Amino acid sequence: MPEENLREIKVMANLLGANDVQAEVNRNHFKQKKCLAVNLIGSPGAGKTSLLEKTLTGLGTEFGTAVIEGDMFTSRDAERIAALNIPVLQINTGSACHLDSKMVNKILPAFAWDTLDVMIIENVGNLVCPADFDLGEDFKAVVLSIAEGDDKPEKYPVIFRNAKVAVLNKIDLEPFTEVDLAKMKAQITAIHPEIKIFEVSCRTGQGLAEWTAWLAGEIRAVKETG
């Protein structure tokens, strides 16, 4: 292997190692506060923010919710969440294509943790880089628009391998695409046999109740620990 490639591998290993140390600090913080932390990942246009809006509305007032929004430059997604009267803070990464654990840690003190049961971190739109960076979350949730094509799980296997749940969004578009939904789901489960899969449409509401009920169960499980 060329020497420059070995250097790149070493630099990446050191970067991930430092990130993982900070991620454990974050994870211990969430655990101490009995707050479920979810790392929401998906490509641009997958419908992450729309799903987040529907999810927060669906959870209602039973739980204290908050959001961290990751974006390279704008605050548009954070503004959408703020319109729901949900505590939200924006992280702009500049040229970085993902959030890391240090970015998240810096803004944790700004939240009122005694009131929170779930923190959802909407990562920068990307199926590659965010898959490798632990933020200290309880689990990763990957959002995939079916309009992206049924080849995406095989093309981006790491995020599906690392995620606990996959949300197949824009399911209402199935009649208007050539996507093979059975093939898409088969690829996902071949990569990660234990992954939980939901089929949802933020436009029609299909599947949202099932997804929200499952997430509520995860929140209650964390609240009841210890």
Structure tokens at 137: 């979350």
CB 112 within 8 A of CB 87: yes
Q: Report d(CA 103, CA 159) in Å as an integer.
A: 20
> What whole-number percentage of the chain has pLDDT above 90?
88
Give me the domain span that covers residue 118.
3-223
Stretch 65-85: mean pLDDT, rounded? 95
Structure tokens at 49: 């923010």
Stretch 48-77: mean pLDDT, rounded? 96
Domains of the chain: total: 1
- Asked if pLDDT for residue 178 goes beyond 50, the answer is yes
Dump pLDDT digits (tens) for 12-34.
455 678 999 999 999 999 999 99
What pTM was computed for the model? 0.92
Which of these, 159, 163, 220, lies nearest to 194 by C-alpha position?
Answer: 163
Q: Which residues contact 90 (CB under 8 A, 6 or more apart)?
A: 69, 71, 75, 78
Query: What's the confidence (pLDDT) of residue 96?
Result: 86
CATH code (residue 141): 3.40.50.300
Long-range contacts of 206-215 (CB under 8 A, 24+ apart): 206/171, 206/172, 207/171, 208/54, 208/55, 208/58, 209/58, 211/55, 211/58, 211/167, 212/54, 212/55, 212/58, 212/59, 214/165, 215/38, 215/55, 215/59, 215/118
- Asked if pLDDT for residue 8 goes beyond 80, the answer is no
Query: What's the confidence (pLDDT) of residue 182?
Result: 97
155 exposure class (CB count in 10 Å sphere: 0-12, 13-18, 19+): exposed
Write out the H or E segment, with its range, that includes residue 166: strand 163-169
- Asked if pLDDT for residue 1 goes beyond 60, the answer is no
Dump pLDDT digits (tens) for 188-207.
999 999 999 999 999 999 99
CB 214 within 8 A of CB 118: no
